[in-house]
């Protein structure tokens, strides 16, 4: 486990940059985190390093800034974590709360994956390889999550919402994820 990462009692990761999102709520009473869902995102699509993802997850995305953003005008989504291509780790929602990342979803016969999962977004696209730094941060983060919660599975968004979602995509190398 990486010494720079540690979760506090609420599920905020010490060592991550904190950007609180309003797009979250309480998990169902007694629900434990047992699933990690891997996503990818870039805003505008295929462009990296800008403020779009942070703006989307904090409801500050200007629909006039880019033609693609108009379709996201009323979207209220979040993830627990976002790993940029340079390895920067940002947290939007504490793990003790339910982030709104999975949408209509099911895993191993259980619906509503947001109830029992942590969502991790990687800056990228379905068909582009992710960076070494992203995999290093992801593996360190997964180690901390596994040490804190009874994580049973790590799945892609496409696994919990087949036919509706395609991420993390062919560019994601599952062989590089420890204990996936």
Structure tokens at 146: 């596994």
pLDDT per residue as tens digits for the range 44-60: 999 999 999 999 999 99
**What's the pLDDT score for residue 43?**
98
Provide the whole-model pTM. Answer: 0.96
Domain count for the chain, please give it.
1
Closest to 118 (Cα-Cα) out of 85, 149, 84: 149
Check which CATH number belongs to the domain holding 170 and give it.
Answer: 3.40.80.10
Could you tell me if residue 153 is inside a domain? yes
In a domain, 60, yes or no: no
What gap in Å lies between CA 138 and CA 172, rounded to an integer? Answer: 12
The domain containing residue 13 runs over which residues?
A: 6-41+77-176
CA–CA separation, 50 and 43 (whole Å): 7
By the 8 A CB rule, do 35 and 113 touch? yes
Q: Does residue 144 contact residue 11 with C-beta atoms inside 8 Å?
A: no
Q: Is residue 89 part of a domain?
A: yes
Check residue 178 and give its pLDDT: 82
pLDDT in tens, 87-136: 999 999 999 999 999 999 999 999 999 999 999 999 999 999 999 999 99
Q: Let me know if 121 is a catalytic residue.
A: yes
Of 88, 111, 121, 123, the active-site residue reads 121
């Amino acid at each position: 486990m990486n010494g720079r990462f540690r979760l506090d009692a609420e599920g905020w990761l010490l060592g991550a940059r904190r950007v609180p999102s309003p797009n979250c709520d309480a998990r169902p009473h007694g629900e434990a985190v047992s699933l990690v869902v891997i996503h990818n995102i870039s805003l505008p699509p295929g462009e990296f390093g800008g403020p779009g993802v942070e703006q989307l997850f904090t409801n500050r995305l200007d629909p006039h800034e880019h033609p693609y953003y108009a379709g996201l005008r009323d979207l209220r989504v979040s993830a627990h974590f976002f790993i940029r291509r340079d390895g920067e780790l940002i947290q939007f929602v504490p793990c003790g709360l339910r982030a709104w990342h999975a949408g209509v979803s099911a895993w191993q016969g259980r619906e509503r994956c947001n109830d029992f999962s942590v969502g991790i977004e990687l800056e990228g696209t379905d068909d582009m390889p992710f960076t070494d730094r992203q995999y290093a941060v992801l593996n360190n983060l997964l180690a901390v999550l596994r040490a804190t919660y009874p994580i049973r599975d790590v799945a892609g968004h496409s696994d919990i919402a087949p036919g509706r979602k395609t991420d993390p995509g062919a560019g994601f190398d599952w062989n590089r994820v420890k204990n996936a």
